[in-house]
Structure 1
Amino acid sequence: MILSPFEWTIARRYMLPGRGEAVIAVVAGIGVGVVMLSVAMLVIVMSVMNGFRAELFDKIVGLNGHAIIQGYGGRLDNWRDVLKEVRTVPGVTRASPLIEQPLLASFNGRVEAIFARGQTAEDIQRLGPKVQAGALASLQPEAGNVALGSELAANLGARVGDTITIINPQGQSTPFGTVPRQISYTVSAIFEIGVYDLDERFVVMPMQDAQTLLLLGDSVGMIEVSVTDPDHVAELLGPLAQKLSGQAVVTDWKQMNASLFEALQVERVAMFFALSIIVLVAAFNILSSLIMLVRSKSRDIAILRTMGATRRSILKIFVTTGSVIGLTGMLSGLVLGFIVLFFRGGIVRAIEFVTGQNLWDPKIRFLTELPSRTDPVEVLAICGMAMLFSFLATLYPAWRAASTDPVQVLRYE
């Protein structure tokens, strides 16, 4: 489809209709605009959907590991032997004991449901970049210090240095019944993971303190595992799950968050399909503008044919004209999409200011801000689809132009 200087000159003139052809220029401009908007919307929506999945994966899995090995009854008594076994599995990058138990916390008359999370000193230090106030260094065994999620701290009204009470309903048995176990802890740090549900519930403490609070002795609740390839975690830990059958259950991140990630995937596919229809609408705009151009230029086409222009040359001229319209719209859409993604935070805040509505409530959206992650492969697929539809839209008008009979046109026009 290499154009000769003659063919390119004619195609360029048809891309910029004259003053007497304002209608054609408007229709062509609408075609460019629709392609631009459709490509921009696809890039924006797919980037945001990818951002949702990536951010949720990084924050949820980054905190809980790629899999957990949980003992029956919530206790893993031989956890040291299991831990050694797990660390010998090929593909496992990290394995550490963990205690996680739903309890209650109170402060100044306020009571909130929490997840008490007992971790090793190494795992606690991984929260360092998430700390908003205080420090994690004081979370030492038997020091009586804990770290709270930011939303939980706000709900309790607690700050760094305050003393909260954690209540374990499964306390000691007495002749008068079970007495809940209540232990006071000093808030040493406040952290924000970025996932609302976790920031609203988590209380992090040293492993030994959690064992004392929950009367576990030397037992733990589970072992969290990280692997080299999270997408194939089931295959990597499959042999281990069979070996531990009857002692513990291996659950990977896909099973723990299956409904959430499946819903995101379904919504992502549905949005891509729905917005792809707009690209098809843009192709129809290109088709209509080229048909109008061919009709208005039929006399010119006939003259070109009588001057020696071949059918192939006419075909190439009109295919090039329509393809350039699609290419212009596609490139403009990419620029518009990336601009919107770059300023997405300000755009959301501006819409909230104008409408007076909170569009990004972390209680509903899970994340505290609008995420975005652009996949180059998807962007190339979107561009390829836009160009393919644009090219297909040029074939019929170009064929009609190439099939023009110069004798009949010059005789009757």
Structure 2
Amino acid sequence: MILSRFERTIAKRYLWPGKGEGFIFLVAAISLFAVTLGVWALITVMSVMNGFRAELFDKVVGLNGHAVVQGYGGRLPDWQAIVREAQATPGVTSATPLIEQPLMASYDGRVEGVLVRGMRVEDIRANPTLKGHVVAGTMDALVPGSENVAIGSRLAEALGAEVGGQISLISPQGQTTPFGTVPRIVSYRVAAIFEVGVYDYDKAFVLLPMEDAQTLLMLGDAVGMVEIETADPDKVGAILAPLAAKVGRQGVVTDWRQMNASLFEALAVERVAMFVILAFIVLVAAFNILSSLIMLVRAKTRDIAIMRTMGATSRSILKIFIAIGLSISIAGIVVGIVFAVVTALFRQQVVNFVQAVTGQNLWDPSIRFLTELPYKANPFEITAIIGLTLGLSFLATLIPAWRAAKTDPVQVLRYE
């Protein structure tokens, strides 16, 4: 919609309050604030939800892969053949054998449930989720036969463990005696403490070389599962269908959607629900624009009639009031985007400030899974939010603009 110089001049004039129009200006200011609030809230909440899903996906998949081939009874004796079959499958980028077993850990009299994970040394050092997330010690100390382990930061806090301390892993699979099975207890040195950012992992994981895990759990040369990564995690089912048919007698293939179905489905539902709820703020803003323009048209009826007698067309009047409403909307969108950017840059400080003021823990990692508030802006979603706001604002301007354009100067000026 292109405005002529005359139309731009009148639109600018009507955007500022005239004598006795303070209330109309107040309603327009409230409309501007409502648009700002709606855009700000929508962009911020949707970006946080996107960031939450992306962070969870990266951390969960980074440690568990896109899929796993899990052996029946927790054992894969012929795992080398499965690794070769997986690597030969089109679309598979890597296949990693590993052992994962829930056990108990003891440190200076404190006992916690842990998840022991055994991996090949080269896989530990190449894992992007573990690499660069060591907060104390070094992963280089994890070599077969060294009796060194790495533990999560939250587990270290719970046990009071430090690098160099001795942690005991307790396995129920021990020696059989006439009095029953004696649990197997093996001591290891804490060589590293890591923090991947997912509370459940940092609270439970004990990482050690695969050979040491096989000795601890008396697995021989067997492993528990083979972790698989694919070129496209969204097509993991189709990619791994041929592999599932080949390894069906030895184990079952489970992809990341099946392992975390309830979590990601809940996130998707919450994401849609939050968008719909927050979109009502924009709808309210559109109604505010509608009401402010209706009052402005009533206040400017005489001016409109005079402009019509001087040659202004109905189309010009229509464009003027549509431009006024869209100007309010665009200004609110710009301010809302600025607020969203500032919120993104200082989101953790905002959370910490609110927690300090209220005394409430707003981001408990044990509930939220992640240790920090994530944020990931999606350009497509931001464009959709801007389009939704402009669309609703445009619809809100049509009725008052059409009413102004249909003003009959003869009827208005008859008694002037």
Q: TM-score range by the shorter chain?
A: over 0.9
- Structure 2 residue matching 1:200: 3-state secondary structure: helix
Determine if the alignment matches structure 1 residue 370 to structure 2 residue 365: no
Instruction: Give the letter for the 2:38 counterpart.
Output: S
Alignment of 1:333-344 (within 5 A): 333-344=336-347
1:310 counterpart (309, 313, 321): 313
Match of 1:234 in 2: 237
Residue in 1 that maps onto 2:78? 78
Q: Which residue of 1 aligns with 2:3?
A: 3
Deviations 1:291-337 (A, max 9, x none): 00000000000001111111111111111111111111111111111
Query: Counterpart of 2:69?
Result: 69
Deviation at 1:273, TM superposition (A): 0.3
For residue 246 of structure 1, report the CA deviation from its aligned partner. Answer: 2.2
Judge which range, 212-221 or 119-128, deviates more. Answer: 119-128
* Corresponding position of 2:107: 107
* Residue 382 of structure 1: aligned partner: 385
Q: Report the CA distance between 1:356 and its aligned residue.
A: 1.2
Relative to structure 2, which stretch is displaced further, 319-328 or 120-129? 120-129
**In structure 2, what is the equivalent of residue 90 of structure 1?**
90
SS in 1 for 2:135: strand
Range 141-150 or range 335-344, more displaced: 335-344
Answering whether residue 134 of structure 2 is matched by residue 137 of structure 1, we say: no
Residues of 2 paired with 1:291 and 1:277: CA distance?
21
| 1:256 is the counterpart of 2:273 | no
Distance 1:8 1:140 in 2: 74
**Which residue of 395, 400, 403 corresponds with 1:397?**
400
Query: What letter is aligned with 1:250?
Result: V
Match of 1:268 in 2: 271
4+ residue runs over 3 A deviation: none
What amino acid maps onto 1:156 in structure 2? Answer: L
Deviations 1:49-77 (A, max 9, x none): 00110110111111111110011000001
Name the structure 1 match of 2:39.
39
Per-residue deviation, residues 136-194 of structure 1 (Å, max 9, x unmatched): 11111111110011111111111000111111111121222111111110000000111
For residue 277 of structure 1, the aligned residue among 276, 280, 291 is 280
Corresponding residue for 2:184? Answer: 181
For structure 2, which runs of at least 5 residues remain unmatched after alignment? none
For residues 24-54 of structure 1, the C-alpha deviation after alignment (integer angstroms, 9 at most, x for no partner) is 1111111111000000000010010001101
Corresponding letter in the other structure for 1:256: M
Secondary structure (helix, strand or coil) at the match of 2:95 reads strand
Find the aligned partners of 2:141 and 2:356 in 1 and give their Cα distance: 42
**TM-score, normalised to structure 1's length?**
0.99
- How far apart are residue 357 of structure 1 and its match? 1.3
Query: 2:113 is aligned with what amino acid?
Result: A
Q: In the aligned structure 1, how far is the partner of 2:247 from the partner of 2:170?
A: 33
Between 373-382 and 125-134, the greater mean CA deviation after superposition: 125-134
Query: Are 1:30 and 2:30 matched, yes or no?
Result: yes
Provide the aligned length of Structure 1 versus Structure 2: 413
Candidates 163, 172, 175, aligned match of 2:175: 172
Aligned equivalent of 1:324: 327
User: Deviation of residue 412 (structure 1)?
Assistant: 4.1
2:162 to 159, 162, 167: 159
- Separation in 2, partners of 1:11, 1:200: 61
Q: What is the match of residue 57 of structure 1?
A: 57
The 1-side partners of 2:65 and 2:23 are apart by 61
SS in 2 for 1:129: coil
Question: How far apart, in 1, do the equivalents of 2:415 and 2:100 lie?
Answer: 87
**CA shift for structure 1 position 359:** 1.2
Q: For residue 396 of structure 1, what is the amino acid of its counterpart? A: I
Offset at residue 20 of structure 1 (A): 2.5
Aligned residue identity for 1:392: L
> Aligned partner of 2:136: which letter?
A
Q: Deviations over 1:187-229 (max 9, x none)?
A: 0000011111111110000000000000000000000011111
The residue type paired with residue 56 of structure 1 is L
**What is the SS of the residue equivalent to 1:17?**
coil
